[in-house]
Amino acid sequence: MDYNPMELMICCAARLLEDGRTVAVGTGAPCAAAMLAQRTTAPNLVILFEAGGVAPLLPTMPISVGDSRTFYRGVMATSMADIMETCQRGMIDYTFLGGAQIDPYGNLNSTMIGPDYARPKVRLPGSGGANDLASFCWRTLVMTHHDRRRFVEKLDFLTTPGYLTGPGAREAAGLPPGTGPYRVITNLAILGFDDETKRMRVESLHPGVSWEQVQAATSFPLTARQPLAITPPPTERELHLLRTEVDPHRYIIGRPC
CA dist., res. 227 & res. 192, Å (int): 14
CA dist., res. 159 & res. 179, Å (int): 17
CA dist., res. 163 & res. 180, Å (int): 6
Under 8 Å CB-to-CB from 86, ≥6 apart: which residues?
Answer: 48, 92
CA dist., res. 104 & res. 125, Å (int): 22
Q: Which residues are catalytic?
A: 50
CA dist., res. 166 & res. 147, Å (int): 23
